[in-house]
Amino acid sequence: MTALTLRRFVRHRMAVASAAILAILGVLTLAAPLVELAMGIGANDIDLLHRFAGPSLAHPLGTDELGRDLFLRLLYGGRISLIVGMATALVAAVIGTTIGLIAGYYGGWLDALLMRLTDGVIALPLLPLLIVLSAVDMSKLGFGDAFLAGDSASVYRMMIIIALVGWTTVARLVRGTTLTLREREYVLAARGMGASGARIMLTHVLPNTVSPITVATTLSVGTIILFESVLSFLGLGIQPPLPSWGNMLNNAQELMNEAPALAFYPGILIFLTVVAFNFLGDGLQDSLDPKAVTQRR
């Protein structure tokens, strides 16, 4: 089955190209400290004498408004954006799968309640809601100053906030699949042998929902990166000096005359990454769902 899936996937050229692009981006951003070492400068080294420098040997993409190296900041920014995107998608998938499994397996009032909740979240205007959530003062929620002063506080906050609204698609998909699987003979057999609900859900139902979950999660990474970048752009997401592709565009609008390149690079990288995840999701869908393929040709 996996060989067949792989063969179908390889036929989807855009998806393969996307996977390659993402792999390159991933390796480059992970290797950011090594690149830093090789270039002999730090990503946060401020050099006010060389602000807005053009591309040169020392700075392959030039420098920003504080004279920091743009290329290194892009690598570190990509790290944050990719990690937030993928980790959040995973958290959201776990929440969605749990809710979908419970709703689909137990049915009845629990199902009705959970699905109303899902519909309710889907019906909300997400961006305004995310803006309020990111404006919440964490110290009022009892988080310690030590945690909030740390660099990573804004990263965790982003992940939690976006995961809170991003689980709905997976929940619906998993519920739908669980509803049909619940009536299968092997599930009945397991129940007849006295397996508990949790055991049936985890060992008999969950493995059969892996493909739709994989597709939905891959597709959601793109959306999540878009949400993170816009919140960071608006000054509500990842907080500087920690770079993310979104917050590197914070000052881009005012600096448009002096340095259009500063506005260009972070955005094109977000764009590329999101396109790649979307194509990857499409490719996975076609290769994991055989029915879609037979309809195609």
Partner 1 sequence: MSRYLVGRLAESLIVLLIMSVVIYTLIGLMPGDPIDIMVQSDPHLTPADAARLKALYGLDKPLLERYANWLEAALSGDFGYSRIQNQPVWTVLAPRLVNSIILMGISFVVSLLIALPIGIYSALKPYGARDYAINFIALGGISIPVFWLALMIIYLFSVRWGVLPASGMQTVGVESVWDKAKYLVLPVITLSAANAGSLTRFMRAAMMETMRQDFIRTARAKGLGRRQVVLKHALRNALIPVVTILALSFGNLFSGALITETVFSYLGMGKLIYDSIIGNDYNVALIALLFATLLTLVSNLLADLCYAWLDPRISYGARQA
Asked if residue 19 binds partner 1 (CB under 8 A), the reply is no
Number of Cβ atoms within 10 Å of the Cβ of 100: 30
Q: Which is nearer to partner 1, 75 or 252 (CB)?
A: 252
HSE of 47 in the Cβ direction (CA atoms, 13 Å)?
18
Q: Which is nearer to partner 1, 37 or 256 (CB)?
A: 256
Tokens of 36: 């830093």
Asked if residue 132 binds partner 1 (CB under 8 A), the reply is yes
- Dihedral sign of CA atoms 81, 84, 87, 90 in order: negative
Q: Which is nearer to partner 1, 2 or 257 (CB)?
A: 257
Site string for partner 1, 215-244 (x = CB under 8 A): -------x---x--xx--xxx---------
Q: Are residues 246 and 271 in contact, defined by beta-carbon separation less than 8 angstroms?
A: no
Q: For residues 80 and 207, what is the distance between their CA atoms, to the nearest angstrom?
A: 31
Strand partners, 124: none
CA–CA–CA angle 179, 181, 187 (5° rounding): 125
- Which of 27, 135, 146, 193 is in the footprint of partner 1 by CB under 8 A? 135
Q: Which is nearer to partner 1, 2 or 295 (CB)?
A: 295
Q: For residues 69 and 90, what is the distance between their CA atoms, to the nearest angstrom?
A: 32
Shortest CA distance to 282 belongs to which of 92, 13, 1?
Answer: 13
Asked if residue 143 binds partner 1 (CB under 8 A), the reply is no
Q: Are residues 170 and 97 in contact, defined by beta-carbon separation less than 8 angstroms?
A: yes
Q: Which is nearer to partner 1, 182 or 283 (CB)?
A: 283
3-state SS record for 120-174: HHHCCCHHHHHHHHHHCCHHHHCCCHHHHHCCCHHHHHHHHHHHHHHCHHHHHHH
Asked if residue 142 binds partner 1 (CB under 8 A), the reply is no
Residues 260 to 279 in contact with partner 1, rule: CB under 8 A: 260, 263-264, 266-267, 270-271, 274-275, 278-279
Q: Which is nearer to partner 1, 14 or 39 (CB)?
A: 14
Piece of 32-40, 70-78, 90-98, 122-130 that binds partner 1 (CB under 8 A)? 122-130
Piece of 23-31, 101-109, 123-131, 198-206 that binds partner 1 (CB under 8 A)? 123-131
- Which of 20, 46, 124, 160 is in the footprint of partner 1 by CB under 8 A? 124
- Dihedral sign of CA atoms 116, 162, 284, 94 in order: negative
Smallest gap from residue 203 Cβ to partner 1 (A) = 35
Q: Which positions lie near partner 1, rule CB under 8 A?
A: 14, 116, 120, 123-129, 131-133, 135-137, 140-141, 222, 226, 229-230, 233-235, 246, 249, 252-253, 256-257, 260, 263-264, 266-267, 270-271, 274-275, 278-279, 282, 295-296
